[in-house]
Amino acid sequence: MAVCIPEFLSMYETQRLSIELAKQDIDIRNIVINQVLFPDPKSECKKCVARRKMQQKYIDQIKDMFDDFHITVNPQLDEEVRGIELLKSFGTLLFEGYTPEWEKEK
């Protein structure tokens, strides 16, 4: 599994890592994209919306680049993942993915 964030340098390094690992016959089939913003559509935070738009560009590129990989997109969290309960919660994100609260209400 490789972990990256939706930015150019991280995407590039993840691609390089996967190539180098493949040369060593180490196959990674999973990519986790961390620290993705999911601004509430009702929010008036222009920076949040702009940052998410930029992130989406890189998420799309990562998905194209690793089209045969399993990709998980995780949100930027409000706090560090420390302790058993937060680790369990984060594990759930890794296996089940993330759905913003406003999407759950639909």
For the chain, domain boundaries: 2-104
Ranges of H-type helices in 66-105 = 84-96, 101-104
CATH of 2-104, one of 1.10.1740.10, 3.40.50.300, 3.40.50.720, 1.10.238.10: 3.40.50.300
CA pair distance 84, 87, nearest whole angstrom: 5
Residue type, 71: I
- Look at 38 and 99; give whichever has higher pLDDT: 38
pLDDT(106) > 70? no
pLDDT digits (tens, 9 = 90+) for 83-105: 999 999 999 888 888 887 766 66
**SS3 state at 17:** helix
Q: How far is CA 35 from CA 79, 93, 106, in A?
A: 11, 12, 24
Query: Rounded to the nearest 10 degrees, what angle do helices 8-23 and 46-65 cross at?
Result: 20
pLDDT computed for residue 47 by the predictor? 93
pLDDT(26) > 90? yes
pLDDT computed for residue 96 by the predictor? 83
